[in-house]
Amino acid sequence: MTLGQKISTLRKKMGLTQEELAQKLDVSSQAVSKWENDLSIADINCLIKLSDFFNVSLDELLKDKKEETMLVEEKMRKPLEKMVLRVVINSKEGDKVRINLPMPLIKLGLSMGMKMSDVTNNDKLATVDFEQIFKLVEEGVIGKLVEIESSDGDLVEIFVE
């Protein structure tokens, strides 16, 4: 996904027009249009504002991270101790939750019977089987493992990196 496509997608997820985004960033709507069509790139100050406004890191905004799920050969896998489970929750109301948990902590929590919905206070995660996710990761599966879009418009994504 290009930078322009990311800006467009993030703007639309927030229910904003190009004009509304432009006003919030103190730029012209033409500038936003050019960014979204990959005709120009925002300067570094605007990129920082975009990152803050959309509550994403500059890395997420600028890098073309693949969200695909993949199986990594055993000899190429990172040690489980260096892996992170990321939970991203974007509610229709604009609430954003970002959780980054080391996999050893997930393992400990599972052994204690802890549920992710207890940690996040979000019932959308109650149906996710984190024990199965952990087993997949132990077998070498990484990337975007879960995407849930509820009928009320909330989006939950779970990644392992």
Between 125 and 4, whose confidence is greater?
4
Residue ranges per structural domain of the chain = 3-62, 70-160
| Those residues with Cβ within 8 angstroms of residue 36's Cβ, 6 or more apart along the chain or in another chain | 4, 5, 7, 8, 11, 18
Phi, psi of 94 (to 5 degrees): 100, -5
DSSP state of 93: T
Residue 148: the pLDDT is: 86
pTM (2 d.p.):
0.57
Residue 154: the pLDDT is: 85
Per-residue confidence at 22, pLDDT binned at 50, 70, 90? very high
Residues 3-62, CATH architecture: Orthogonal Bundle (1.10)
Average pLDDT score, the chain: 87
Would you say 85 and 101 are in contact if contact means Cβ atoms under 8 Å apart?
A: yes
Lookup: tokens for 28: 């012209």
Lookup: tokens for 152: 């009320």
